[in-house]
Amino acid sequence: MANLINESEIRGTWAPIIEEATGINESEKLAWMSTYCHNHKLYEDAQMMALNPNSPGSMNIGGMGSVSFPSQVGNGADVGTNGSGDKSPTLLPLAMQVAAQTIALDLVPVVPMAGPMGLLSYLDFVYEGGRLDGGVAPTYIKSESTDGAAEADGYKFTKLDKASRIDGFAIYEVEETGVHAGTLLAAFEAGTAADKGIELVKALEDHIPGFSGATGDTVKPMSREVGERTPDKLMGLSLFSKSVAAETFQVAAAVTREQVQDLKQFGVDAVAQVEAVLTNELTQSINQHILAEMRRLGGVSPASAEMTAVTLDYDMVGGNTFGDHNRRILTYILAHANFIANKGRRGAGNFAVVSAKVASVLQGVAGFVPNPMANTINQVAGAIYPLGSVAGINIYTDPTQAFESGEILVGRKGDGNSPGLVFMPYLMAESVQTIAEGTMAPKVAVKSRYALVEAGFHPETQYSSFEVTGVQL
């Protein structure tokens, strides 16, 4: 299902509605939520409600009997029972609330999907392009094999002194020396006697100084004479696409007729309360899914050993105070943010997720005068998240972490075209309400469908984590 109007029209139509309904006025969030609402509205308009499933071609709404959900639905296999055929109302206002309340969406770029399946495209620059499976060979490749110079099947592979900054793989310069019958991979494996595979060398991650300057692994420019008779070397632009499919979180709740009747005496809508609880369950599930994937990638991140943990020693010597020690946490957060810039080459980390105890320490040190640092950390008790910012890094509190936990996640939110996680919603919240035939009590079911995609070749470079021990309040 494709968008039928351009992005500016979508934004002009939906931004005022979203801002009035949710209070969101952040430009970036309004942009993707407007696109999502447009797709969602197209989906809703395509639905037909409660047509008699036993009368094909009839537009009369006949008696359908009791409402029932399908069970154990397989891929065309008769392994369960069919549902009653009702179409689920998707409730766009509920979807907007889920999107607005899911704080973890502030940590990842969001690219709405127009259907249950989609493509995520991202760009990368490689040295003189080329193909690994035949045709034109690239100028440089990298591999786990470190066998050095090799020659086979019309190719010569010369290992450079420089290794990959990301994974430590050896980088080889490729030279065609004759006619070749097989692929570049087959020639490399034959020459090195190693079954290690090969990859293209990405320019942003693994810079090769000699590519644009003097020949060889140096940082020197060419002389005028050499420059005049040397053809320009080309950078290759590669567009990569990744197929994604929406996955599902779903939850349901029921209330009794007595609850509906009795709560009305106190001005409480029981069904609305149930829907609010289900919405909270969805947002918390999505939050934890995003954070869990970030922590997994942060653990894979190639941080040096001395950056993975820090122990705070509160033995007060020479006039030290708790503030001196607690401020080290901020320094380590900044160090990991700069580490992300150093490894990923896309920019520094711009957010950190901490536990409630670490958040309390940061709140306490925010106004510590002897060691001031530019910050907007909220010092009001009860602040959960977002907590504020320090030196341009947004701090968030994860209330599901154990209070004593010292684990800190630092990451960078990209733009959807750079490495890292990308959130691709299809239906943020689809809701259906039914009345049980036996008890006549209402039941509400809500589901969310989206894809959380690892974009780029090294998404782990955009996240880093470390642990602080010995934190005292």
- pLDDT recorded at residue 379: 43
pLDDT band at 138 (very low <50, low <70, confident <90, very high): confident
- Residue 61: is its pLDDT beyond 50? no
- The pLDDT value recorded for residue 60 is 41
Could you tell me which of 142, 200, 198, 197 has the C-alpha nearest to residue 172? Answer: 142
pLDDT at 174 over 80: yes
Single-letter code of the amino acid located at 418: S
Mean pLDDT of the chain: 77
pLDDT at residue number 15: 86
User: Is 60 exceeded by the pLDDT of residue 231?
Assistant: yes
pLDDT for res 450? 93
**pLDDT on residue 2:** 45
Question: Strands 309-311 and 393-397: what pairing?
Answer: unpaired
Mean pLDDT of 158-173: 84
In the predicted structure, residue 274 carries a pLDDT above the cut 60: yes
Q: Which one of 146-155, 265-274, 302-311, 458-467 scores highest in mean pLDDT? A: 458-467
SS (H, E, C) 213-234: CCCCCCCCCCCHHHHHCCCCCC
Q: Which of 246-250, 274-278, 468-472 has the highest mean pLDDT?
A: 246-250
pLDDT of residue 66: 56
Query: pLDDT digit string (tens) for 3-23?
Result: 455 778 888 888 888 888 777
The H or E element spanning position 119 is strand 117-127
- What pLDDT does 71 receive? 54
- Percentage of the chain with pLDDT > 90? 10
User: What are 76-111's pLDDT values in tens digits?
Assistant: 444 556 555 444 555 577 777 777 778 888 899 998
Residue 55, C-beta contacts closer than 8 angstroms, at least 6 positions apart: 62
pLDDT for the residue 351: 93
| Per-residue pLDDT at 348 exceeds 60 | yes
Confidence of residue 273 (pLDDT cuts 50, 70, 90): confident
- Looking at domain 87-116+248-473, its CATH architecture is Alpha-Beta Complex (3.90)
* Token couple for 289: 């899914």
Mean pLDDT, rounded, for 417-437: 83
pLDDT at 272: 81
Mean pLDDT of 27-36: 83
Is it the case that residue 53 has pLDDT exceeding 50?
no
- Give pLDDT, residue 76: 46
Cβ atoms 314, 349 nearer than 8 A: no
Q: For the ranges 157-171, 272-286, 310-324, 425-439, which has the lowest average pLDDT?
A: 310-324
C-alpha span between 102 and 283 (Å, rounded): 5
Tokens of 62: 């006949």
Q: What are phi and psi of 184, to 5 degrees?
A: -60, -40
- Bigger pLDDT: 134 vs 463: 463
Here the tokens at position 415 are: 């733009």
Grade residue 124 by pLDDT with cuts at 50, 70 and 90: confident
Short-list 82, 88, 85, CA closest to 55: 85
Q: Given this model, what pLDDT does residue 411 score?
A: 94
pLDDT digits (tens, 9 = 90+) for 350-381: 999 999 888 888 877 765 444 455 556 554 44
Using DSSP bridges, classify how beta strands 463-469 and 407-411 pair: parallel, antiparallel or unpaired: antiparallel
Q: Where are the domains of the chain?
A: 87-116+248-473, 123-241
Tell me, what amino acid is at 11?
R
pTM value? 0.75
Mean local confidence (pLDDT), 262-271: 84
In the sheet that 199-200 helps form, which strands lie side by side, from edge to edge?
150-152, 155-163, 170-176, 140-143, 199-200
